[in-house]
C-alpha cells in the first residue's frame, strides 16, 4: 500500500470512528456495524464486476481495516487478491493470495487461491540475465499446489506452467554455455553444454546444444567426440527437416576439414622435431 493510500485510509478511519461516536452520544439510531460492512462489500463487488479493480481495492482496504468479526473478511480478502490478479499486479496478487491462504485455510476458495498464487508467481518478472529466484518460487508454489490437490482437474494447466518454468532454467544454462563458446573458452563451454544436455534432455534448445558442443569439441581437436554429438543430433532430427539436415552436412564437412588440417599440422610438427633431432645429433 502506498504512503498516500495509508494516510487516506487513516483519515477515513478517524472520520469513521468520530461519526459513530457522535451518533452514539447524540442518541441517534446508528447503523449496525455488520450492515455497514455488508453495504461496503456489495459496493466493492459491484465495482469489481464493472472491471474497476483499483477502486475495488480501495473499498476492500476499508473493509479489511474495520470489519473484523462481521463475516466479510474472508470474502473481502479473496476479492482483494482477485482484483490485483485481474490488474496483473502479480507481486501484490501473490501476497494477497498468500494472506488469504494463511488466514482462511478452510475456505471454499482455498484451492483457487493456491492455484492463482502459483500463476501470479509464474508471471512475476523474469529475465534470463538475472538470477532464477522468481522461477524457483513459482516452481515451489506449483509443487505445493499439486501436493495439496493431487486429484485437481487443473493438473494439465499446472504441468504446462511447470514445463515453461523448467524451460526458463534451461535457457539460462544454455545462454551461459553459449557465452563461453563465443568467448573461445571451449573447455568451459563443453562442461556447461554437457550439464545442460543431461539436466534438460527435453529442452527446445537441445538440437542447438548438440551442434554447439560438437563445435566446441572440434575446436579442442577432439574430432571423434565432436562426431559423436553430431551423430546424436543426426539420429534425433527428422529426415524431412531440410534445414537441420543441411546444417548437419555442413558441420560434418567442417569437422572433416579440421581433422585433415590437424593431421597435416601434426605431420609437419613431427617432421620439424625429427629435423631438429637430426641437427642436434650432427652437431654432437
For the chain, which residues make up each domain, given as ranges? 42-152, 171-284
pLDDT at 19: 45
pLDDT at 20: 47
pTM: 0.77
Return the DSSP state at 105.
Answer: T
Integer Cα distance of 155 and 147 in angstroms: 11
Band (pLDDT 50/70/90 cuts) for residue 238 is confident
Q: Which residues contact 193 (CB under 8 A, 6 or more apart)?
A: 177, 181, 209, 212, 213, 216
In this structure, whether the domain defined by 42-152 belongs to CATH 1.25.40.10 is answered with: yes
Contact between 218 and 258 under an 8 Å Cβ cutoff? The reply is yes
C-alpha cell at 166: 523448467
Contact between 64 and 79 under an 8 Å Cβ cutoff? The reply is no
C-alpha cell at 77: 480478502
Greatest Cα-to-Cα distance within the chain, rounded to the nearest angstrom: 126
Residue 131 scores a pLDDT above 80? no
Residue 68 scores a pLDDT above 80? yes
The architecture CATH gives domain 171-284: Alpha Horseshoe (1.25)
pLDDT tens digit string along 188-204? 999 999 999 999 999 99
Mean pLDDT of the chain: 86
**Phi, psi of 5, rounded to the nearest 5 degrees:** -65, -35
Of 22-31, 74-83, 238-247, give the lowest mean pLDDT range: 22-31
Contact between 169 and 153 under an 8 Å Cβ cutoff? The reply is no
Comparing CA positions, the residue from 58, 77, 57 lying closest to residue 9 is 58
Integer Cα distance of 46 and 48 in angstroms: 5
Q: Which residues contact 135 (CB under 8 A, 6 or more apart)?
A: 126, 165, 168, 169
pLDDT tens digit string along 258-268? 999 888 888 77
C-alpha cell at 135: 522461477
* 42-152 matches 171-284 in fold: yes
pLDDT tens digit string along 93-118? 999 999 999 999 999 999 999 999 99
Amino acid at each position: 500500500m502506498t504512503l498516500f493510500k495509508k494516510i487516506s485510509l487513516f483519515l477515513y478511519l478517524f472520520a469513521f470512528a468520530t461519526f459513530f461516536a457522535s451518533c452514539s452520544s447524540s442518541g441517534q439510531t446508528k447503523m449496525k456495524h455488520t450492515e455497514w460492512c455488508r453495504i461496503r462489500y456489495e459496493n466493492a463487488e459491484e465495482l469489481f464486476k464493472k472491471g474497476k479493480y483499483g477502486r475495488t481495492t480501495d473499498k476492500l482496504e476499508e473493509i479489511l481495516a474495520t470489519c473484523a468479526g462481521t463475516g466479510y473478511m474472508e470474502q473481502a480478502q479473496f476479492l482483494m487478491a482477485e482484483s490485483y490478479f485481474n490488474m496483473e499486479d502479480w507481486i501484490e496478487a501473490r501476497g494477497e493470495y498468500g494472506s488469504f491462504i494463511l488466514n482462511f485455510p478452510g475456505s471454499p476458495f482455498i484451492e483457487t487461491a493456491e492455484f492463482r498464487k502459483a500463476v501470479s508467481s509464474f508471471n512475476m518478472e523474469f529475465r534470463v540475465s538475472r538470477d532464477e529466484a522468481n522461477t524457483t518460487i513459482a516452481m515451489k508454489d506449483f509443487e505445493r499446489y499439486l501436493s495439496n490437490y493431487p486429484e485437481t482437474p487443473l493438473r494439465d494447466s499446472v504441468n504446462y506452467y511447470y514445463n515453461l518454468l523448467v524451460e526458463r532454467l534451461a535457457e539460462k544454462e544454455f545462454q551461459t554455455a553459449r557465452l563461453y563458446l563465443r568467448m573461445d573458452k571451449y573447455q568451459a563451454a563443453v562442461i556447461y553444454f554437457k550439464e545442460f544436455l543431461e539436466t534438460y534432455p527435453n529442452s527446445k534448445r537441445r538440437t542447438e546444444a548438440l551442434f554447439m558442443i560438437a563445435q566446441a569439441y572440434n575446436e579442442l581437436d577432439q574430432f571423434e567426440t565432436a562426431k559423436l554429438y553430431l551423430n546424436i543430433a543426426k539420429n534425433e532430427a527428422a529426415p524431412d527437416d531440410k534445414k537441420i539436415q543441411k546444417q548437419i552436412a555442413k558441420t560434418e564437412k567442417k569437422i572433416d576439414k579440421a581433422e585433415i588440417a590437424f593431421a597435416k599440422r601434426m605431420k609437419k610438427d613431427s617432421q620439424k622435431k625429427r629435423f631438429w633431432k637430426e641437427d642436434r645429433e650432427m652437431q654432437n
